[in-house]
Structure formats: structure tokens, C-alpha cells
Amino acid sequence: MALIYKICPADAWREAEEKGTFAGSAIDRRDGFIHLSAAHQLRETARRHFAGQEGLVLVAFESEDFGADLKWEASRGGDLFPHVYGVLPAASARWAMPLILGDSGHVFPESVPE
């Protein structure tokens, strides 16, 4: 079983917890799926798409929980990224924690492998 991750604004995740689902960011909705990352992709995703942003949260999900809604599709450099075609049930999150912005970029929890 592998964890996959979503980086999003903390207020958007709080709203998802209240509603019960996360329907994605504007970019996710535009693309028709929710962009997630495997552990080895997280730091580059943060650097490219969330540089300098504070107030973010890192949310972990078990990839197997999404069944057929999860597709691993080629993206950056041909690497396969997890995309969920549907919503993220907030209750299925394994954990959510603040993604702190440090002097050299975002600081990831030690439990997230590089």
C-alpha cells in the first residue's frame, strides 16, 4: 500500500472536512481530475506549483482507497502521477498536517520519504 499526497490551502481542506469531500482546486476542476503526487514527486510539485505560498496543508491518502477512480498518468518528464477522477473523501485522509514554508522552501514531515 502506497500513500499519495495532495497539497492544498489549509482553508480549502478545512472546508472539505466540513463538507465531507474535496472537489479539487480550480486547476483540478479545469483538468477534470485531482492532481496528487507520490512521495518522491512532492518536493518538486511544491517547488513548481506552490513556491513561496504559506498556509498550505499536506494531506495523505492510501492509493488503494480510490479503486478505479485513481489513474497513474504520465506528466512531468514522463513520470507517472496519481490522478483521481472524482472527489477526495475527507474521511479517507490518513492524516493532514501543515506544510511549513522555511527559508529554503517547504519543510516536509520526516515521515514522508524523498
Domain that residue 70 falls in: 3-107
CATH classification at residue 41: 3.20.170.20
- What average pLDDT score do residues 19-30 get? 95
Report how far residue 33's alpha carbon sits from residue 27's, in angstroms, rounded to the nearest whole number: 9
Does residue 113 lie within any of the structural domains? Answer: no
Q: Does 96 map to a domain?
A: yes
> How many domains is the chain built from?
1
- Tens of pLDDT along 65-112? 999 999 999 987 889 999 999 999 999 999 999 999 999 999 998 888
Whether 38 maps to a domain, the answer reads: yes
Whether residue 72 lies inside any domain: the answer is yes
The C-alpha angle 111, 16, 75, rounded to 5 degrees, equals 60
Residue at 114 is within a domain: no
Q: Give pLDDT tens digits for 51-77.
A: 999 999 999 999 999 999 999 999 878
3-state SS, residue 103? coil
Residue 90 lies in a domain: yes
Domain membership flag for residue 59: yes
Tell whether 42 is covered by a domain. yes
